[in-house]
Structure 1
Amino acid sequence: MEKQKIHPYIPIFIGVISVSLSAIFVKLANAEAGVIAFYRMLFSVLIMAPLFFGKYTNEIKELRIRDWLFSSVAGIFLAFHFILWFESLNYTSVASSTVLVTLQPLFAFVGTYFFFKENITLKTILAGVIAIVGSILISWGDFKLSGTAFYGDMLALVACALVTAYFLFGQDVRKRLSLVTYTMVVYAVSTITLFIYVLIKGESFGPYPTMDWIWFILLAIVPNLLGHTLFNWSIKYVSTNVVSIAILFEPIGAAILALLIFKEYLIATQIIGGFIVIVGILLFVVDEKKIFKFFSKKA
């Protein structure tokens, strides 16, 4: 991977904190899942537009057919990831939904191996397994609940597969494009996809209460522009596996926020699972030897 002055783990850390707020904002909004996702992406595009049209429009002419294809596919995957994940929050808890949607190593390990021929060490696999076991423990109690909760869990799991595909396609394109151009193209495709989806579903584009519009805008600014954009920046310099495992921190932050805001209390298995997730992530970081490289550069 290409080297960068700013260590990739720093923006990844900030990104994880930002995306942890996503489920909270979604749950606070009263609109349909597709509508929430549409406005999240629309406001993201509108906020980015001045920067893009002021400096990066020339890059559009340099896009190859492969770039357009991969960026479009990534945008479509991202759109349906949001639809299914937001819908899952209507049926299951924030902790369980965010846990399942962040089980990306299950898919990323396989995807990067077959599509990008990235080497996966035994220690990396062990780290991923530990993190995944911890994630499952967090939502263990919820798996035993009603069929409605189980349905929400399945939606979140499919959403997980879709966002992993989004990152995999993005990893290929992002290596050749600037962050702003890539993000603008992908978010624009995602916005169009969601607009068509909302029209087909017959959902309302408005009016909505003022607070809903605030949640829509915050979703665009915090998880998207500060969260996913930082992840898009990072995958130019690190493997999708690194981002996928780091995102496993999201359920921990989301669960704590859900406890404070929605009184969704954590049980023992969720707390223990959270610690196991952290152990798995740290094991992966040590395996990648990024910590030692980071401090050696600072010395």
Structure 2
Amino acid sequence: MGDNQIYPYIAIVIGVISLSTAAVFVKLAGDVPPSIIANYRLLLAAFLMLPYVVVKKRQEIKMLKKKEWILTILAGISLAIHFIVWFESLQYTSVASSVVLVTLQPIFAFIGTYFFFHERFSSGTIISMFIAIFGSIIIAWGDVQIAGKALYGDLLAILGAIFITAYFLFGQRVRKKVSMMTYTCIAYSIGAIMLIMYNMILKNSFFHYTSFEWSIFVFIAIIPTIFGLNLLNWSLKWVSSSVISMGIVFEPVGAAILAYFLLEETITWSQWLGGTIIIFGLLLFIASTRRKRKMKMTITP
């Protein structure tokens, strides 16, 4: 393998590590409302992309029709809800449990394609889904032994996986017409607007935060959202989507390691066992669907 062929794989590793930082940043933010963190993640990310989209991709925006705008708006709303419930889950359960359960998104996506696009299930797909679900049950059972609120956090994380799936399903048609940068900038902007209204209803403060908390807002907008996602999308030019999917499956591993060193979070036996089973099930799932999947590869923000 030549040096040029190695670069995409290096980018995947860096991209997955970057994605792994999101949950840790949320935890480090302490008492900041999760919806505020989500708000600034989308708002700052959209702000950083906006100049490029306005200057270079203006024609793509003009090409969007009414139905595509509706789908994009629904996608942005789904993304906002995903961040609200996922970030909220981190107030109740560990980084390891939350991130590994959110990583179940590919399974929900395939179920969505079954209902919307009549994707067929192979025996390998069904087996792998049951393996991953079994792993999530082990995590939930272990967490409920620790505290009832941990189970509530697990349920919020699963809800987060469902809403990020909705984000991808709504945006699938639009992504065929416009570039990744244009679509994500619009969807992030819509999600940010929704979160602004949501935070206004809750009367959450937008400005009274410490310099450390403001740095968290900036880092979570740049590292996992811009830096991580862009590297993975750049890699799609040279490697298959299944390779990147398999890389993303290991995001919970990176998140758990970072949480161990930065947050001093220990990993229970149920999280180790359940997480390992889920990762194995997802790898088997990706391998069994790589040839049959109709959905274009999309990467979790």
Please, what TM-score do these two structures have when normalized by structure 1? 0.83
Q: C-alpha distance in 2, partners of 1:75/1:65?
A: 15
Contact 1:130 1:276 in 2 (8 A): yes
Change (3 A) 1:230 1:158: farther
Contact 1:12 1:246 in 2 (8 A): yes
Pairing 1:275-294 to 2, within 5 Å after superposition: 275-288=276-289
Q: Who is 2:62 aligned against?
A: 61
Q: Who is 1:222 aligned against?
A: 223
Partner deviation per Cα, 1:118-166 (whole Å, 9 max, x = no partner)? 2332112222332333344345421323232222222222222111111
Contact 1:88 1:152 in 2 (8 A): yes
Q: Who is 1:95 aligned against?
A: 96
2:129 counterpart of 1:128: yes
Q: Who is 1:74 aligned against?
A: 75
Change (3 A) 1:132 1:227: farther
Pairing 1:172-251 to 2, within 5 Å after superposition: 172-228=173-229, 247-251=248-252
Q: C-alpha distance in 2, partners of 1:173/1:80?
A: 20
Q: Who is 1:43 aligned against?
A: 44
Structure 2 gap segments, 5+ residues each = 292-301
Q: C-alpha distance in 1, partners of 2:107/2:288?
A: 18
Shift of residue 100, structure 1, vs aligned partner: 2.4
Partner deviation per Cα, 1:177-217 (whole Å, 9 max, x = no partner)? 11111111101100100111111110000121111111111
Alignment: residue pair count: 285
Contact 1:123 1:287 in 2 (8 A): yes
Of residues 45-54 and 98-107 in structure 1, the stretch that sits farther from structure 2 once superposed is 98-107
Q: C-alpha distance in 1, partners of 2:57/2:162?
A: 31
Change (3 A) 1:289 1:147: closer
Q: Who is 1:34 aligned against?
A: 35
SS in 1 for 2:250: helix
Amino acid at match of 1:160: A
Shift of residue 36, structure 1, vs aligned partner: 0.6
Change (3 A) 1:227 1:66: farther
Q: C-alpha distance in 2, partners of 1:116/1:232?
A: 24
Q: Who is 1:137 aligned against?
A: 138
Partner deviation per Cα, 1:233-290 (whole Å, 9 max, x = no partner)? 8999988x99877644322221121111111111233223343334333323443567
Contact 1:183 1:229 in 2 (8 A): no
Contact 1:22 1:223 in 2 (8 A): yes
Q: C-alpha distance in 2, partners of 1:247/1:192?
A: 28
2:23 counterpart of 1:20: no
Q: C-alpha distance in 1, partners of 2:19/2:114?
A: 26
Of residues 260-269 and 82-91 in structure 1, the stretch that sits farther from structure 2 once superposed is 260-269
Q: C-alpha distance in 1, partners of 2:290/2:207?
A: 50
SS in 1 for 2:76: helix
Q: C-alpha distance in 1, partners of 2:142/2:175?
A: 39
Q: C-alpha distance in 2, partners of 1:238/1:188?
A: 29
Of residues 7-16 and 22-31 in structure 1, the stretch that sits farther from structure 2 once superposed is 7-16
* Percent of paired sites with the same residue: 50
2:151 counterpart of 1:159: no
Of residues 196-205 and 213-222 in structure 1, the stretch that sits farther from structure 2 once superposed is 213-222
Change (3 A) 1:8 1:130: farther
Contact 1:23 1:89 in 2 (8 A): yes
SS in 1 for 2:99: helix
Shift of residue 47, structure 1, vs aligned partner: 0.9
Amino acid at match of 2:25: F
Q: C-alpha distance in 1, partners of 2:55/2:95?
A: 39
Q: Who is 1:260 aligned against?
A: 261
Amino acid at match of 2:109: A
Of residues 5-14 and 189-198 in structure 1, the stretch that sits farther from structure 2 once superposed is 5-14
Q: What is the CA RMSD across the aligned residues, in angstroms?
A: 3.1
Q: C-alpha distance in 2, partners of 1:242/1:74?
A: 25
Of residues 71-80 and 144-153 in structure 1, the stretch that sits farther from structure 2 once superposed is 144-153
Contact 1:99 1:136 in 2 (8 A): no
Q: Who is 2:299 aligned against?
A: none
Amino acid at match of 1:51: Y
